[in-house]
Chains A and B, each alone.
Chain A
Amino acid sequence: MAVIRFIFDGVREMFRGSREYWMWLAALSVVIIYGAWRYSGQITEGLVVTGMSDQVSWGFYISNFAFLVGIAAAAVLLVIPAYIFDRKDIKDVVLVGEGMAVAAVTMAILFVIADLGRPDRLWHLMPVIGRFHWPVSLLAWDVLVLSVYLLLNLAIPFYVLFMHYRGREPNIRLYFPFVVVAMFWAISIHTVTAFLFSANPARPFWHTSLLGPRFIASAFASGPALIIITLQTVRNVTSYHVSQTVIDTLALIMTTALQISLFFVGAELFTDFYNEGSHAASIHYLFFGLSGFASLRMWIWVALVLNVIAVVILMIHPLRQKTLLLNIACVLAFVGIWIEKGMGLVIPGFIPTPLGEIFEYAPTGTELSVAAGIWAFGILVFTLLAKAVIAIKLGKISYTLKLSYSY
């Protein structure tokens, strides 16, 4: 059957390539295996090997989770211009963006699983055989929307690529409704993740209606940053053509999003510090330290500075046009938002505790290793998917090709 051959050819393509390609896969595998080994240590000893405590009960894992859901949502920034505005240049790369979404959602789910105290009880989440506390629990919502988003971002490209592999035009009327669903769904995954945090009046740092908008804005700044770097890499290491207009459009979207994101940060700072009450204790800890504790202070100010430099570069048209400066801005924005939305969001929510205690958190070697392993796994997933996608789009593998292992 054609589908079987499609999958077979695709997978075979993933594991075929130059020496540099194999070295890249090997390097990623080393990190993944090391992370898996450290995770097995966590399974044996328990979460006591992490730096989390009753006081700060979520740490590095959930920080990365929140950030990665944003990256996954940002794939929609390619989907909308490609299918709604009929941008042909963006349509050519939209599958790469969806591949990135798959990798990001996979990483997000892995981070949640790594954070669980009893991953062996994952089946308890399933409806009917377990107890799925939907629609009341925001975490249940998150599981639902992320799973469906993963399916959508696997199914739609699967169909489109399969059609391409068969040498046929994909039936727009068949997959367009799913594309529309996926667009709204992308916004929803990140809004649900924001609501996961903002639904808790117990944590005044998160309990703000601005958290949802902040998440979307920072996602739409950090996601395109990653996509811009990735597309340039694709352009350099493969023979796939990525039009410069794609990069320009993404850079423009990123500029606006980053400006809005920084505006939101400013709004938070004003609201909390103008008349400072106990509601502002967490943000005071984050930016200025509290009672002698200030382990996140340097990080957040660095993040702020990186974001400001990035937005200045992006806002100035001639600077944004220069590839090197654009790439610098992308890296700065990506790192800055990773800090601000990762540790800079999750940890201060727990400091001070609802009983006023200040107990700090620092990730341990296990957490850093497992996180690195998961990131490497996500990059591996993306690499493999992109390899197959590009090969199919370039026609290197197709159903009609008699010699499937040419070149």
Chain B
Amino acid sequence: MSRDNGRRDGHSKFDQARRNILRAIGLGAAAAVAQPAWGGQTLQDAFASFFQKDYRRMSAEEIEAALERIERNAAARYGVEIDCQNTPPQPGVVFGYAINISRCRGYRDCVYACVQENNLGRDSQVQYIRVLQLEQGDFNLEHSDHYYDPETVPVEGKHYLPVQCMQCDDPPCVKACPVEATWMEPDGIVVVDYDWCIGCRYCMAACPYWARHFNWTVPEIPAEEINTNTHYLGNRPRPRGVVEKCHFCVQRTRKGRQPACMEACPTGARIFGNLLDPNSEIRYVLENKQVFRLKEDLGTEPKFWYYSD
């Protein structure tokens, strides 16, 4: 830009100044859009995630874009490269779970394996699994101890009952949700779209198993402990103000791996598999063992059984 009296090709000094200002605004706007400034997101991302549709109505491209936004957010928030996928359910598969309560010793290995696998906030202190300690001969949950902390387990005269989302076939939480942010997938898992939930917590009131938990604050996870293998409906990093719950480790189970709780249990008390496969372990349990479900009389049809042998 020549500086001969501020004139260039006959344009006035005023025009030049105006052009400079417009250029600066343009650059500034481009910078604002591209820089992560909106809660750690770029303006483009913030807009796109605000207007993001619910999972079941997004096209394949929109879901891809959402997955990439989640990965970018995780990089901005935790400084970690995660892989967020959208593995679809396998056809002909409906998951079922059983726990052998005569094998459970109350170690809580399952609880902490789940916390690690599913990127549960250490600060928001959500745990999907809760192990109850009950008196021998007593099955009244009001007499249970959730906070047992003895030197060794099992304690003499007590037995243990792990409880987590029962993935009901007639889920009261799905009925309760005013925005349909939670629903049952074809493989039987009741999932939550964390980007659609408005945080009204009606589903938490409706759940008879205390299986749904809320992010009262932003989930804090140490960067080195983040599980980078995530699923949109599962263990991807969640925002504050939404409900979450056990999803049978959808990022693992849809690929044929065991859920983290089952893999962690040292006693092999946990059985998991495809209810529609007559040769599966879970079918053998249901057909050969004395199984029961919690709060059967409520008619929720849980896909989570207990048995002892």
Answer whether A and B touch in the complex at a CB cut-off of 8 Å. Answer: yes
- Residues of chain B with a CB closer than 8 A to A349's CB: 205
Chain B, interface SS category: loop
- Residues of chain A with a CB closer than 8 A to B216's CB: 46-48, 50, 52-53
Whether A288 sits at the interface, judged by CB under 8 Å, is no
- Residues of chain B with a CB closer than 8 A to A117's CB: 197-201, 214-215, 240-243
Whether B189 sits at the interface, judged by CB under 8 Å, is no
Of A7-15, A196-204, A374-382, the one touching chain B: A196-204
Expressed in whole angstroms, the Cα–Cα distance for A62 and B127 within the complex equals 25
Beta-carbon nearest neighbor of A281 in chain B: B142
Whether A84 sits at the interface, judged by CB under 8 Å, is no
A-B contact count (CB 8 A): 149
How distant is B264 from chain A, measured CB to nearest CB, in Å? Answer: 21
Of A121-129, A306-314, A327-335, the one touching chain B: A121-129
Q: Are A118 and B197 interface neighbours, CB within 8 A?
A: yes
- Residues of chain B with a CB closer than 8 A to A139's CB: 176-178, 200, 202
Interface size on B, residues (CB 8 A): 50
Q: Are B210 and A122 interface neighbours, CB within 8 A?
A: no
Expressed in whole angstroms, the Cα–Cα distance for A273 and B146 within the complex equals 27
Expressed in whole angstroms, the Cα–Cα distance for A125 and B178 within the complex equals 7
Q: Are A355 and B298 interface neighbours, CB within 8 A?
A: no
Chain A interface residues toward B at CB < 8 A: 45-48, 50, 52-55, 57-58, 112, 115-122, 124-125, 130-133, 136-140, 143, 196, 199-203, 278, 281, 349-350, 352-357
A-B CB contact pairs (8 Å), 30 listed: A45-B217, A46-B217, A46-B241, A54-B210, A57-B205, A57-B214, A58-B201, A58-B205, A115-B201, A117-B200, A117-B240, A117-B241, A121-B196, A125-B198, A130-B179, A131-B180, A137-B178, A140-B178, A199-B206, A200-B176, A200-B205, A201-B298, A202-B207, A202-B208, A278-B140, A349-B205, A352-B142, A355-B144, A357-B144, A357-B146
Beyond the given A46-B240, A118-B239, please list 17 additional residue pairs across the A-B interface where CB-CB is below 8 A.
A46-B241, A54-B204, A54-B210, A54-B213, A57-B214, A116-B200, A117-B215, A122-B198, A136-B175, A139-B200, A202-B205, A202-B298, A350-B205, A355-B141, A355-B210, A356-B132, A356-B142
Chain B interface residues toward A at CB < 8 A: 50, 54, 57, 124, 126, 130, 132, 140-144, 146, 163, 172, 175-181, 196-202, 204-210, 213-218, 239-243, 295, 298-299
